[in-house]
A = this chain, B = another copy of it.
Amino acid sequence: MSERGRPRTFDRTAALRRAMDVFWVKGYEGASISDLATAMGINSPSLYAAYGSKEALFLEATDFYSRVEGPDIWLALEEAPTAREAIELFLTRTAKAYSQADRPQGCLITLGALHQDSTSGLICADLRRRRAENHSALQKRLERGVAEGELPIDFDSRAAATFFATVQHGMSIQARDGASCTALMATVAGAMAAWHTLAGVEKA
């Protein structure tokens, strides 16, 4: 490849992970270039040379987040044999991940940039897209449950996916308020308590 020129003296991926942590804790607006560069152990010109801009760095950091922090939670949908167990495992892993003491609480995709201003419009749109993808993944798993006969033919997979996705979003805020894993599991239990009704004769 291109190995011309002076080689980079820092690990690009390791620095990206540190940037992700800063964005995770402070959000897009709250994280300054100074904060980021300090945490990454580099100076701002190196940051711009390697990643382009604050916006580009955030997009790369969220993508990294999705690939590193996401799978543990979202693979639950494919690992569990039934839709019910898939949702329950998905929410349980969410509760654990969101309350881990050695990481920022809650989800970067959910909390990273909720207020779209002039500078972060692209950021907000990207996060919204990722949240929509998550909603779609839930819906597809539920539709599979319908196709496999686990759920009734008139089961509203879209509405149910909206419900479970919304519960997960709420858990991010609950985690930011300092909720323990046990407290988050109370929410999981509440959400799963809806299963019988949703999967049963809800149309009555």
Contact = CB atoms under 8 A, between A and B. Distances in A.
Interface of A: 25-27, 29-30, 110-111, 114-115, 117, 128, 131-132, 156, 158-160, 162-174, 176-179, 183, 186-187, 189-198, 202
A71 to B, nearest CB: 22
A174 B169 contact: yes
A185 to B, nearest CB: 9
A163 B198 CA distance: 17
A192 B193 CA distance: 10
Contacts of A131: 173, 177
A36 to B, nearest CB: 13
Give the 5 A-B residue pairs with the shortest CB-CB distance, closest first. Answer: A163-B190, A170-B170, A193-B197, A166-B170, A159-B186
Contacts of A198: 190, 193
Contact of A166 (B164, B174, B194): B174
B176 A166 contact: no
Nearest to A190: B163
A115 B31 CA distance: 10
A63 B110 CA distance: 26
A80 B131 CA distance: 35
Nearest to A179: B162
